[in-house]
Amino acid sequence: MAKRVDNVLFLCTGNSARSIMAEAILARLGEGRFRAFSAGARPAGDIHPETRALLRSLGYRTEGLRSKGWEEFSGGDGAAMEIVITVCDRAAREACPVWPGHPLTAHWGFEDPAAFRGPGAERRAVFARVYDRIESAVKLLVKLPIGSLGPAGLKREIDAIGRR
């Protein structure tokens, strides 16, 4: 029997920090059960330098990560998503496209570290704190028995992760 692999898309407005972190974390922790993607409603065009620096300091390869628009995934040409998670409140309020395949959608709100204006050490601390929160949420996602929950149960569990 083929091993189930779920495609998960993390959405943010700029796709430069939170959604990029979530993509990288799930790609690492997903244990071959997940394929991680990220996109933005209005992509910044580049990954925030602090995001890239943090991920590299934690041993992530960042060469393949890029800021991109969600239209790459909303048409019929891209990979079909099983789960779409907004990771910022602004993206959650956006008029999202209709996703092919009607994936489960959820919202996990995290503060925007890219919006922080302050000294370098404080900025790095904000990025690290947001990373830790996202990592905790992704770890809970990875532990879910996705195949045995059913659509309603899976929706309930993924929504609950976002309320922690």
* CATH classification at residue 124: 3.40.50.2300
Host domain of residue 35: 6-162
The count of structural domains within the chain is 1
143 is a domain residue: yes
11 is a domain residue: yes
106 is a domain residue: yes
71 is a domain residue: yes
pLDDT of residue 91: 54
1 is a domain residue: no
Residues 34-67 pLDDT 10s: 999 999 989 999 999 999 999 999 999 999 899 9
Which residues in the chain show pLDDT less than 50?
A: none
pLDDT of residue 89: 75
The CA radius of gyration of the chain, in Å to the nearest whole number, is 15
DSSP element (H, E) containing 148: helix 146-162
- State both tokens at 48: 């925030």
Q: Pseudo-torsion of CA 97, 98, 100, 101, nearest 10°?
A: 140
107 is a domain residue: yes
Question: 83-86 and 104-107: which strand pairing?
Answer: parallel
- Catalytic positions are 12, 88, 96
pLDDT of residue 76: 63
pLDDT of residue 17: 96
17 is a domain residue: yes
Give the residue among 131, 164, 124, 109 at the shortest CA–CA distance from 20: 131
Residues 6+ apart with CB under 8 A from 112: 17, 18, 88
30 is a domain residue: yes
